[in-house]
């Protein structure tokens, strides 16, 4: 099997395994069915499908959504790992006592973007309109997160770094749109 077929296939399987495991773990071990609407878990499944069908538009739509938040999470993780202090407090939970399977699944925050960027090189399909697809995906996830996850602040839809209020949803969408645009610009330079 050629590298152009094997790498996307393996990557797709890895992402699907992690995504499905995250959902099963959330529902049956952590007992939190809202885990289904976390961006990173949805992203793993969509990335997995995108790599399996070798569709760069689908893959890029998820990289657009996930890249900056996962890079920030990884930086916070590395800060805590090397200094014992978490600047943002978003990855400290990884170092608390808990289920090993949850920690293995959470480790995807560290490799999702590097593996996606490496593996997308082996897919030759065009990536037109991945920005539009990214925005189409974030809108329903925002509303589902607001509706179902009020006390848990899933996907930071109620507050972020102590910023909240009536106009916060507008700020949230602006932040996501800017992240998607910046990431997509970087992806276009890679091609």
Distance CA(41)–CA(154), nearest Å, equals 12
Evaluate if residue 172 carries a pLDDT over 80: yes
Evaluate if residue 27 carries a pLDDT over 90: yes
Evaluate if residue 176 carries a pLDDT over 80: yes
In the block, residue with structure tokens 């959470």: 106
Instruction: Judge contact between 47 and 59, C-beta under 8 A.
Output: yes
∠ CA(105), CA(6), CA(128), 5° rounding? 80
Instruction: Judge contact between 101 and 21, C-beta under 8 A.
Output: yes
User: What average pLDDT does this structure show over 34-58?
Assistant: 96
In the block, residue with structure tokens 């069915």: 33
The residue segments making up the domain with residue 46 are 3-190
pLDDT attached to residue 136:
96
Which range, 11-20, 78-87, 141-150, is most confident?
11-20
| DSSP state at residue 28 | I
pLDDT in tens, 76-87: 999 999 999 888
Evaluate if residue 174 carries a pLDDT over 90: yes
Number of structural domains (the chain) is: 1
């Amino acid at each position: 099997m050629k590298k152009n077929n094997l790498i996307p296939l393996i990557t797709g399987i890895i992402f699907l395994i992690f995504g499905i495991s995250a959902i099963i773990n959330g529902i049956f071990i952590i007992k939190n069915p809202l885990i289904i609407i976390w961006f990173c878990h949805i992203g793993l499944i969509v990335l997995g499908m995108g790599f399996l069908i070798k569709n760069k538009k689908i893959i890029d739509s998820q990289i657009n959504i996930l890249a900056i938040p996962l890079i920030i999470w990884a930086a916070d993780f590395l800060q805590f790992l090397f200094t014992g202090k978490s600047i943002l407090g978003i990855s400290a939970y990884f170092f608390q006592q808990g289920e090993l399977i949850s920690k293995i699944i959470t480790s995807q925050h560290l490799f999702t973007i590097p593996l996606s960027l490496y593996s997308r090189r082996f897919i030759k399909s065009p990536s037109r309109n991945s920005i539009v697809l990214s925005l189409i995906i974030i809108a329903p996830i925002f509303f589902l997160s607001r509706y179902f996850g009020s006390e848990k602040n899933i996907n930071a839809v109620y507050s972020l770094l102590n910023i909240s209020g009536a106009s916060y949803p507008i700020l949230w969408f602006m932040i996501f749109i800017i992240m998607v645009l910046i990431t997509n610009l970087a992806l276009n330079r890679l091609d």
